[in-house]
Structure 1
Amino acid sequence: MLDEIGRGSTAVVYLAMDSRGREVAVKELVPELTGVPEAIDRLAREMRAQARVRSAYVAGLLDGAITAERPHVVMQYVPGCPLYDLVPAYGPLRGDRLARFARRLALALGDVHDAGVLHRDVSPGNVIVMGDRPTLIDFGIAQESGADQITRRGMVVGTPAYLAPELIEGERATTASDVFSWAATVAFAATGRPPFGRGSLHGVCFRILRGQADLDGVPEPVAGLLRAALRRDPAERPPARWFAGALAPLPGGGRPRAVHATARDGVAAA
């Protein structure tokens, strides 16, 4: 191990060097959980989910040993800065850089969903940025799309300020829930503010449930796309790849036109 680069309540992430001389990230359960079946099962679910995903914009799984004395997973090390730290330090993303960021993060989410996986925690702390290239990390609460719900009604799991309203109400996570979180994360990238504000958990959840997103300062056409992704009804949110297509640059390198969703799979130019 070279250095500790992250720590949570259940695991520690280290920067390490593998046998091929590559820098890798090793996520290891904290010692007090190494013999707890529930913690080991959760790490195994994370490993299975992440192993299914292949994407240029998602940190890849390289190895893992769930039954080892020190259960761990080995992932691609992603250099860069978490979006959560980047924006306060250097300011919001603007213009073409914002559109490229939003599109690439939508492509990452599309790849996750195409692999039959729900990320369930798309948020500024789980997006590493290098230039305007995002990489989605941390599959700690991810699950395969058809798997049983691993949380109970009344539990809020994920980053509350970026959760879809149906999750706050205790409904099952879906690809549409991830899309909502994508939009909230892009809004933070564009403004430096969580779109549903700060403060008490109760207040943030109340604004999410009421659809009171603050998108002031988000430029068009990105703002219009975020409004579509933040719709209260998950059935009305287009899928991640729809947003990636809507954000694609025009031939010749021009900016995307303003678009709006006319149906779940439809798009119209404004």
Structure 2
Amino acid sequence: MLDEIGRGSTSVVHLAMDSAGREVAVKELMAEYAAEPEGRRRLAREMATQARVRSPYVARLLDGDVEGERPYVVMQYVPGQPLGDLVAAYGPFRGARLLRLARRLALGLAAVHDAGVLHRDMAPGNVIVLGDRPALIDFGIAHGAGADKITKRGMVVGTPAYLSPELIEGEPATAASDVFSWAATLACAATGRPPFGRGSLHGTCFRILRGEHDLDGISGPLAELLPLGLRRDPAARPTARWFAGALAQASGEPDQSGRVVAA
């Protein structure tokens, strides 16, 4: 282990070096949670879901062991800073840089959904950015689409300011729920503030349920696209893949073959 680089409610993340000399991120359960079967089950579910996803815009799972004395997972180390920290320190993203960030994050989310996985906690704190290249991290509460619901009605799981209204109401997560969080995260990147305001959890959830989002200051293609992702009805939201295509057309960013991607 080289250094501690993150700490959550149940685990610690260390920067480490693997046998090939590569920097990796090691997420280890804290001792008190390692002693609980539920903590190990959650870590095993995180491994199983993240292992299914392949995208340059999603942190890759490399290894792990949930049966040993100190349960851990090894992930690709993603250099950069959390999106929320960057916006707080340097202000909102603008212009072509913002469009590239939005499209690449949509591509990462589309790859998650293509793998049959729901992330359930896309938020500025779970997007690491280097330049305008994002990487989606933290699959701690992710699960497979169609999996049994693991939270109770009235229990808010995820980052409240970026949760979809249906999750606040206790409905099952869907790909459309992740799309709502994607749109809310990009709104923060574009304006420097959460789209449903700050303050109490109750007030934030009330504004989300009422659809009272603040997108003032957003111009260009995202001014038209983000309201589609923030629609109250999940069935009316386009898919992450659709947004990636629409943003490719808007930005003119080519795919790996050099062709401009269409929706």
TM-score by length of 2: 0.95
Deviation at 1:219?
Answer: 1.1
Deviation at 1:57?
Answer: 0.3
- The residue number in structure 2 matching 1:184 is 184
Change (3 A) 1:9 1:202: same
One-letter amino acid of the structure 1 residue matched with residue 83 of structure 2: L
Pair 1:71 & 2:76 matched: no
Between the aligned partners of 1:210 and 1:83, the Cα distance in structure 2 is 26
Between the aligned partners of 1:142 and 1:219, the Cα distance in structure 2 is 32
Deviation at 1:147?
Answer: 1.1
- The residue number in structure 2 matching 1:56 is 56
- The residue number in structure 2 matching 1:257 is none
- The residue number in structure 2 matching 1:170 is 170
On the 8 A contact 2:176/2:234 being kept in 1, the answer is yes
Deviation at 1:178?
Answer: 0.0
Between the aligned partners of 1:192 and 1:24, the Cα distance in structure 2 is 30
Between the aligned partners of 2:173 and 2:252, the Cα distance in structure 1 is 39
- The residue number in structure 2 matching 1:116 is 116
Deviation at 1:230?
Answer: 0.3
Between the aligned partners of 2:80 and 2:179, the Cα distance in structure 1 is 23
Between the aligned partners of 2:12 and 2:39, the Cα distance in structure 1 is 13
Pair 1:20 & 2:20 matched: yes
Change (3 A) 1:127 1:252: closer
1:228-253 CA-partner distances (Å, limit 9, x unpaired): 00000000000000000000046976
Query: Could you say what the CA RMSD is over the residues aligned between the two structures, in angstroms?
Result: 1.3
- The residue number in structure 1 matching 2:149 is 149
Which one is further off, 118-127 or 82-91? 82-91
Pair 1:3 & 2:3 matched: yes
Give percent identity, aligned residues only.
75
3-state SS of the aligned residue for 1:248?
helix
On the 8 A contact 2:221/2:250 being kept in 1, the answer is no
**1:92-131 pair list within 5 angstroms:** 92-131=92-131
Deviation at 1:62?
Answer: 0.1
3-state SS of the aligned residue for 1:185?
helix
Change (3 A) 1:236 1:12: same
Aligned positions, number: 255
Change (3 A) 1:250 1:36: closer
Deviation at 1:146?
Answer: 2.1
Between the aligned partners of 2:250 and 2:223, the Cα distance in structure 1 is 18
- The residue number in structure 2 matching 1:215 is 215
- The residue number in structure 1 matching 2:259 is none
Between the aligned partners of 1:248 and 1:117, the Cα distance in structure 2 is 24
Change (3 A) 1:251 1:61: closer
One-letter amino acid of the structure 2 residue matched with residue 225 of structure 1: L
- The residue number in structure 2 matching 1:261 is none
Q: Which runs of 5+ in 1 are unaligned?
A: 255-266
1:126-165 CA-partner distances (Å, limit 9, x unpaired): 0000000110000000001121111111100000000000
1:73-123 CA-partner distances (Å, limit 9, x unpaired): 000000001001001111110001111100000000000000000000000
On the 8 A contact 2:100/2:253 being kept in 1, the answer is no
- The residue number in structure 2 matching 1:232 is 232
One-letter amino acid of the structure 2 residue matched with residue 139 of structure 1: F
Deviation at 1:220?
Answer: 2.1
**1:246-265 pair list within 5 angstroms:** 246-249=246-249
- The residue number in structure 1 matching 2:161 is 161
Between the aligned partners of 2:7 and 2:78, the Cα distance in structure 1 is 16
One-letter amino acid of the structure 2 residue matched with residue 122 of structure 1: M
Between the aligned partners of 1:252 and 1:199, the Cα distance in structure 2 is 38
Between the aligned partners of 1:220 and 1:152, the Cα distance in structure 2 is 40
- The residue number in structure 2 matching 1:204 is 204
1:4-50 CA-partner distances (Å, limit 9, x unpaired): 00001100000000011000000000011111001110000000000
- The residue number in structure 1 matching 2:257 is none
Change (3 A) 1:123 1:250: closer
